[in-house]
Amino acid sequence: MDNTVLLEDLDAFAYREALASGEAVVLIPVGSLEQHGPHLPLGTDTALASRIAVGVATRLGALVAQPIAYGYKSQQKSGGGNHLPGTTSLDGASLVGVTRNLVKSFLGQGVRHVVFINGHYENYQFLYEGIDLALEELGLGSGSDTSVLLLSYWDFVSADTLARVYPAGFPGWDIEHGGVLETSLMLHLAPERVAMERVIDGPAAALPRFDRLPVVPGRTPPSGCLSSAAGSDAAKGRLLYEQVVGDLVEDLATELWVAPMGLAVPA
């Protein structure tokens, strides 16, 4: 298949050619299988990370690997909790191990840069640990011209976009679970997977400043969402998607010194 950015669709000879340039960049989307209330699919985090990765890779001339479609345990204060049906998670050690395996495999094959695009809040430190262990095993110290980058896509949402998406005030990234950001992005990217008539509108979750284990299930709103998805629409999703992908392309191009279509390489 020509012109695909998806590794799963690429043939081995085309992949070998991409590696031979010495400049191959592979993006790995990371998500979860996690309840997102009655209106969004369990695969929301994986779907959003994957779609953003494809948007970035297309403009950057990068490749997109199979996503890591399971994530670290959902936590009550950021994802409603791991006790909820549908939420199907990995132990920290498992996610660290998968991450470590992937970094070693891709860099071992000659990929120049690996970029993890995270879409599930709880994953971040385990991805970091897996990357760090892999680099240690590969003997790649500071100053190497091979690298691994790690990011969560919401960290690229600009203040201006936030003000337009949340005219009544931003509730905070930790409780943006099944709320306006994820729902609007899904309405733009995969509207057939969203059931807006099933949105449960209510106040944002009020959670303590500590974590309690085992969780007190009653502290999670009955919807499973931590803030309301009311007010989500495809136009907000489009704004979020275009702005985040644009900023990601710009940052990655600058950092990795590759020339994306339509962007100049920094001098």
Q: By C-beta, is 49 or 187 nearer to Mn ion?
A: 49
Q: Does 77 bind Mn ion (CB under 5 A)?
A: no
Q: Does 80 bind Mn ion (CB under 5 A)?
A: no
Q: Which of 33, 39, 41, 45 binds Zn ion (CB under 5 A)?
A: 45
Three-state SS at 155: helix
Looking up tokens 């710009």 gives 250
Annotation says 36 is catalytic = yes
| Region binding Zn ion by CB under 5 A among candidate stretches 41-49, 109-117, 134-142, 166-174 | 41-49
CB of 113 to Mn ion, least distance (A): 25
Annotation says 182 is catalytic = yes
Annotation says 136 is catalytic = no
Site for Mn ion in 33-52 (CB under 5 A): 34, 45
CB of 104 to Mn ion, least distance (A): 26
Which does residue 237 bind out of Mn ion, Zn ion, none, counting CB within 5 to 8 angstroms by kind? none
Contacts of 33 (CB under 8 A, 6+ apart): 42, 43, 46, 69, 70, 71, 86, 87, 88, 89
Q: By C-beta, is 79 or 81 nearer to Mn ion?
A: 79
CA angle (146 as vertex; 132, 123 as ends), nearest 5: 35
What stretches of 81-205 adopt beta strand conformation (E)?
Answer: 113-118, 147-152
Looking up tokens 């959902």 gives 74
Choose, from 39, 120, 176, 188, the residue flagged as catalytic: 120
CB of 36 to Zn ion, least distance (A): 6
Q: Report the alpha-carbon distance of residue 267 to residue 256 in Å, rounded.
A: 13
Annotation says 177 is catalytic = yes
Which does residue 176 bind out of Zn ion, Mn ion, none, counting CB within 5 to 8 angstroms by kind? none
Choose, from 39, 45, 113, 176, the residue flagged as catalytic: 45
Task: 260-264: list long-range contacts, CB under 8 Å, 24+ apart.
Answer: 260/59, 260/60, 260/61, 261/59, 261/61, 262/59, 263/59
Q: Report the alpha-carbon distance of residue 252 to residue 183 in Å, rounded.
A: 26
Annotation says 113 is catalytic = no
Chain contacts with Mn ion (rule: CB under 5 A)? 32, 34, 45, 79, 120
Applying CB under 5 A, the residues found at the interface with Zn ion are 45
Query: Catalytic positions, please?
Result: 34, 36, 45, 120, 122, 177, 182
